[in-house]
Structures are given as structure tokens and as C-alpha cells.
A and B are shown apart, each in its own frame.
Chain A
């Protein structure tokens, strides 16, 4: 009797999983103009192959990428901000200057996850993706520096520049062929020996940068320049997704020769990314995240910094990114927690008996105070 019951339960679970894969999880519409086939508050799966292709493991917040490893799939909740971004991406046009969107919200409400969802959305629409894991890497995690030979006073950052190019190459394999058919506008003379002639595919610039790190910073600039030009011409649509974008106007840890800290405007990569953010080009969308980690001080236990865009970008940065559309990420609603709870129960991620009861569901909901980050953390330990 007992074994029989267990077998039945096992089958039921398999059946449920089976059902779940085909009916419950859907994808965000690939057609930008088409009526979206997904509603707000439902789960959407990103195929593992795609996630690997987009290198989401490094771009997602670490708890989520670990969960992705554990569960063997990446299922995220489609929420309001994502729908807003999708509708904004739908209006992107050859005549319209690059739309600038700023994701803002309290800690753990899903700014980075939404950014990654948008990157995936761009991937399904065959857009070119420029995705920066964190702008803070460019200002505070600079391993080696060298002075620019192109502009005096600028500071190059070879390792980060190579990382940017490699990441670009990896994330844009779906449009690599298209990129290979786009040609450079002019001659680029990187050094005395290296040069890229006019009319060469722009992928050559990337290869050049990856193979010669000391040229990589300039290559990033040239690549972005070409991308903007081709987007203006309507040959491609581009999504620029910059996490912690307010760090581009934050403080740096790069020291100059006189031992003072260099302002971010002296860093070549920062300058290149700022140019990409400027909306003097068309046919693209710039998605930025305003994150508190730039201004928050871990040692200051009493101060609470704001998470609003003007506060985080500062006056200079704010005036630069204006006009933009602020998109707020918020805490979960009750139905959203329920959706995720059901998903975690189905995946047996919520394993303990008490967590699987009705009371457990409510406790998880209220203990996390509907904050997505804390909800995930609580679910990981129950």
C-alpha cells in the first residue's frame, strides 16, 4: 500500500512537472509589435543554452545564478517594470533618439534581474546587446592602468576593456553575422603597426582589441562609435544595458601620477560608456540601473541613503542622462509571492514540511516583507 502510494505520488509529481514545462512557463513575445503572449505576474523561462550564451551567470545577482545552477533552469517572474521596458523597446525607431530608461528601486527589488530580462528580450528580438555587469567595475575595480596614447591625460584600463569586448563578442553571437557585414567608416590607426582600414567589418575591431589588450580601450571606443553610426543608419537596433550606471559619475579608486584620485571623466572606458548613454544616436535603447551601492557606506550604520535617481546620479550625471524615463521596481505583491511559492514548491526547492503548509507560505511572505531578495533568501533555507 505504502509503496503503491509512493509510486503514485512520484508519477503525479512527474506529471506535474511535465505539465508545468509546457503550459505554465511561457516566453516573452519575440515580435516587438505583436500582442505580447505573456501577462504580468507570470513566470517566464530563459533557456539554459540562451542563458549560457548571454553569460547570465556572471550578470545575474549571485543568489539567482546559484539557484540557476541548482535548479538547472532559469525561471523568472515577469513584472511591471519589464513590461514597461518591453513597451519602450517597441517604440524604438530609426528617427527616435535612443530612449533612456533608468531602473530605480529599493535594495533587492529586482533592478538587475529586470535588466537581465531586458537583455534576454533584446536577444529574442535580435538586437545588438552592450551589457555591462557593473559600471562600478570600471571605476573601482581597475586592476591595471596605462596612460592613453590617443588622448593625453586619459587613463586606459586594458583588462576591463578586454573583458568588455569579450563579453560583447559572447553576447552578440546571435547577430555576429550581421555585425560582420557592417563596415568601418574610416581608417583606425591603433599604433604604428596595427591598423584597421576603412571598409573592414567591425568585428575586426573586436578581435583586434581582444588580441592586443593595450589597444582594447581605444577599440571599445571605436566599436561603440561604429555601433552608433550603424544604428543611426538603421542597420541594427541596440540595447545598452548598464548596471549601476550612476557609478559612471561616482568616485573612482584610480590614482594618477600625483597620487590623487582620477575623476571618472578621465577614465577612457567611462568616457566611452557615457558617449553611448548620450542620446545623440537613434534606433537604440539605453537601460540604466541607479543603484545605491555607489553612495552607500557600509561603515555608516546610521545613515540611510536614498535610492532615487537624482540622488544617485548626482547633478552632473542627472543632467547628462536627462531626459530619461524612470522605471521603478517595487516589492512583490501577494499574488507574485504566491506564483513564486508555487514554483518553488513544484521544484521541491521548498523542501521542509512546515514551509509547504499554508502557514509557511504566509510566514515566508511576511518575514521577507515582500522584498524579492529576502523572499528568495528565505525560500533557499526552507
Chain B
């Protein structure tokens, strides 16, 4: 629409005449005066000018010229727009000039930026108005809605591939041993860090949840002594998972992800050193303070040994050797959640131990 193929000079415009006469000086308005004087230039006996009666203007009216143009009697004069030069001095939008097949889009849109209608050669439309089937949403030009939303025009698959290609020379391949063996990765890479980056449609591309950092540590790799391990477990509380022996630290109290990650590392360091400290009162630990109920040295064991001794004298075929096996079973029975099957197993082993059938 901004394109004009031919340009006509505006030599005959009235404005040019006016300018010319203004430059020329005093004879401005003479032609008009002479024209106003009319064809009848007579004076009456008093010597006054002949005053012509005004019936209609002495030019062709608009309707008249239009009629003549429509019927072809008059030539239709095209006039160029008054601000043509201004318009021509402005460059047409880039999107109309570009050839999408030949040029590299990643050069056009190399980094994240807000939407620019003149750059993006896509006929995108956005906005809402009633009856969308009758009237399409607003076009991209001057559309603020398109500017408000985040875009990912810099993240085209080609651009990402280019990026990867570019940084490939800095990377080393992931150790294939770790890929092959899941368990060895826990000892070689004991710390794993998890965080999430959020992408969503909204006015703000930042997400409060992206600051949360989860750090998972394989506790075995800390190489703690037994007493230190117990202290570690007590300090870690429910962050320590006994089953897979992993410590999970979740930090979210700082504002940025980096700060939270630093804080997680700090916590791990503090935990480790605190666990290795031995306080004076730690020696006062009692049997009842143990994390687990132990079979060795328990009153149950002494009572059981005594009972088996007496059962032997009473003539029962008690199985003394299985007391160790019973002890193992007893330990798991006492330290895990009690189930029906566990109780049955308890009964079976106890029967075997006492020799009752």
C-alpha cells in the first residue's frame, strides 16, 4: 500500500503558484483582481464599475466535473498524495522485503526481544472482539496484545541446533560407564541437583518456583562413622530416607536459584561437620536412646536364652542355633511397621526355637 510506481512532479499545483508569487513580490493577487474584474469591463456614467450579479461561481462545480469525468468528456486528473515524499522517505517494513526461504531467521531475530510487527513475517492476529467469525482478531500492526506476551521467536529448532553446534567444542561426552551402570553413578556423582524452569504464557516470564533447588546426596559417600551417622540421621530428620540412604535438601528461602544452591551446599557442609563433632554429653547415650531396638543385650534375649536352657532340661527339642536367626527376625519385627505376616513369622520362629509343634 505504501508502494508507488510513478511519481509526478507537482508543477501545476496552486500551492506552487502561490509560493512563486510570494517569492516574486508585489504582483501577488493581481490575476485574481483582474479575474474579479470580469469580462465586462465597463463603467457607467457615474464612472462606477459594473457590478455583476452573482448567480453561480464562474468555475465548474464538483458535481459537474464528476459528471464529466464519469461520462468521459473530461480527463480524469490523478493527484498524488500530499505527503508522498514523507512516505517515500520512510522504509517499508522489513517483513515485506524479506524472503523467508533465503534468509536466516536467526540473524533477523538472534535473541529474545519483544514482538515487532514489522519484523515478523507471519500473519499473526491477536485480540478479542465480538463475533470472531464475522470479524477476525486484530492484525499484528500496532497490536499491543502481541507485544505484551512473551515470545520464543529466538528459540526456533534451527536456532537451538546452531547454538548447540557452536558450544559443542566446549563439551566432553557423558561418561558411558555411568550411563551403563546406574549404581556406580551414586558413588562417583553422589550429589544431584534438581530445579525446574517454567515457561508459560503471561505478562511476566519470571516464575517464583524456579528458585527452588532440590539437592539429593547419597549418604554413603560421606563416609561417616557409625556414631556420626546416627547423629547425622537425627539432625537430618525426615530429610533422610532410610530405605535408599539418600539425603534430600530442598532450599527455597533465597530469591535466586544460585543463592539457594549455595545455601544447599552450605547446609550439607554444616550437617557433615556437625555430625562428626563429638560432644561431651554424647557419651551419656543410653540403650533406650538408640535409633533402633537391638536384639543384642536386650532383656528379651536374656529371657529367651534362659527359657531355652530350661526348656532343654524339660525335654523339649529346642533349637539353640536358630536364636541368631530369631534375633535378626526380631530386629526387623521391632523396628519396622508391624504386619500380620511379620507376626506369623514371629510365631513360626518362636515355635521352632522352643521346639513346640
Chain A interface (Cβ within 8 Å of chain B)?
A: 87-88, 91, 93, 95-97, 104, 279, 282, 306, 308-311, 319, 322-328
Determine if B307 and A323 form an interchain contact, defined as CB atoms under 8 angstroms apart. yes
Cβ of B357 under 8 Å from chain A: yes
Q: Which residue of chain B has the shortest Cβ distance to A324 in the bound complex?
A: B350
* Closest beta carbon of chain B to A173's beta carbon, Å: 30
Determine if A95 and B350 form an interchain contact, defined as CB atoms under 8 angstroms apart. no
User: Can you name 6 A-B residue pairings with CB atoms under 8 Å?
Assistant: A95-B313, A96-B314, A97-B307, A279-B303, A323-B350, A323-B353
Instruction: Identify whether the interface residues of A are mostly helix, strand, loop, or mixed.
Output: mixed
> With a CB–CB cut-off of 8 A, which chain A residues contact B314?
91, 93, 95-96
- Among the 9-residue stretches B15-23, B24-32, B104-112, B337-345, the one with 4 or more Cβ atoms under 8 Å from chain A is B337-345
Given contacts A97-B310, A308-B340, contact A323 B356 (CB under 8 A): no
Cβ of B354 under 8 Å from chain A: yes
Q: Which residue of chain B has the shortest Cβ distance to A322 in the bound complex?
A: B300
* Closest beta carbon of chain A to B337's beta carbon, Å: 9
Determine if B343 and A323 form an interchain contact, defined as CB atoms under 8 angstroms apart. no
Which one, A306, A325, A328, contacts B350 given CB within 8 A? A325
> With a CB–CB cut-off of 8 A, which chain A residues contact B354?
323, 325
Determine if A95 and B338 form an interchain contact, defined as CB atoms under 8 angstroms apart. no
> With a CB–CB cut-off of 8 A, which chain A residues contact B307?
97, 279, 323
Q: Which residue of chain B has the shortest Cβ distance to A312 in the bound complex?
A: B338
Determine if A322 and B303 form an interchain contact, defined as CB atoms under 8 angstroms apart. yes
* Closest beta carbon of chain A to B1's beta carbon, Å: 72
Given contacts A97-B307, A328-B343, contact A323 B338 (CB under 8 A): no
Bound-state CA distance A327–B299 (Å) is 22
Determine if A93 and B315 form an interchain contact, defined as CB atoms under 8 angstroms apart. yes
- Of the four ranges (under 10, 10 to 19, 20 to 34, 35 or more), the interface on chain B belongs to 20 to 34
> With a CB–CB cut-off of 8 A, which chain B residues contact A96?
310-311, 314, 316
Bound-state CA distance A306–B299 (Å) is 25
Q: Which residue of chain B has the shortest Cβ distance to A309 in the bound complex?
A: B343
Determine if B311 and A326 form an interchain contact, defined as CB atoms under 8 angstroms apart. no
Which one, A104, A310, A323, A326, contacts B304 given CB within 8 A? A323
* Closest beta carbon of chain A to B136's beta carbon, Å: 56
Which one, A93, A310, A326, contacts B347 given CB within 8 A? A326
Cβ of B209 under 8 Å from chain A: no
Cβ of B333 under 8 Å from chain A: yes
> With a CB–CB cut-off of 8 A, which chain B residues contact A309?
343
Tell me which residues from 273 to 312 in chain B have a Cβ below 8 Å from any Cβ of chain A.
298-300, 303-304, 306-307, 310-311
Given contacts A93-B314, A323-B300, contact A310 B356 (CB under 8 A): no
Q: Which residue of chain B has the shortest Cβ distance to A278 in the bound complex?
A: B303
Which one, A91, A104, A324, A328, contacts B316 given CB within 8 A? A91
* Closest beta carbon of chain B to A324's beta carbon, Å: 7
Cβ of B334 under 8 Å from chain A: yes
* Closest beta carbon of chain A to B287's beta carbon, Å: 12
Determine if B347 and A319 form an interchain contact, defined as CB atoms under 8 angstroms apart. no
> With a CB–CB cut-off of 8 A, which chain B residues contact A104?
343
Cβ of B351 under 8 Å from chain A: yes
Given contacts A306-B338, A310-B333, contact A325 B347 (CB under 8 A): yes
Determine if B300 and A310 form an interchain contact, defined as CB atoms under 8 angstroms apart. no
* Closest beta carbon of chain A to B305's beta carbon, Å: 10
Bound-state CA distance A308–B343 (Å) is 7
Determine if A326 and B300 form an interchain contact, defined as CB atoms under 8 angstroms apart. no
Bound-state CA distance A311–B343 (Å) is 11
Cβ of B346 under 8 Å from chain A: yes
* Closest beta carbon of chain A to B230's beta carbon, Å: 20
Q: Which residue of chain A has the shortest Cβ distance to B300 in the bound complex?
A: A322
Bound-state CA distance A86–B343 (Å) is 21
Given contacts A104-B343, A308-B340, contact A325 B356 (CB under 8 A): yes
* Closest beta carbon of chain B to A97's beta carbon, Å: 6
Given contacts A279-B307, A325-B351, A326-B343, 9 further A-B contacts (CB under 8 A): A88-B356, A91-B316, A97-B310, A104-B343, A310-B338, A323-B304, A323-B350, A325-B354, A326-B344
Bound-state CA distance A328–B351 (Å) is 13
Bound-state CA distance A308–B345 (Å) is 12
* Closest beta carbon of chain B to A268's beta carbon, Å: 24
Tell me which residues from 304 to 333 in chain B have a Cβ below 8 Å from any Cβ of chain A.
304, 306-307, 310-311, 313-316, 333
Q: Which residue of chain A has the shortest Cβ distance to B293 in the bound complex?
A: A315
> With a CB–CB cut-off of 8 A, which chain A residues contact B306?
97
> With a CB–CB cut-off of 8 A, which chain A residues contact B344?
326, 328
Determine if A311 and B338 form an interchain contact, defined as CB atoms under 8 angstroms apart. yes
> With a CB–CB cut-off of 8 A, which chain B residues contact A311?
338
Bound-state CA distance A322–B310 (Å) is 15
Bound-state CA distance A97–B310 (Å) is 7
Determine if A87 and B310 form an interchain contact, defined as CB atoms under 8 angstroms apart. no
* Closest beta carbon of chain A to B133's beta carbon, Å: 53
Bound-state CA distance A134–B222 (Å) is 54
Given contacts A323-B300, A328-B347, contact A91 B338 (CB under 8 A): no
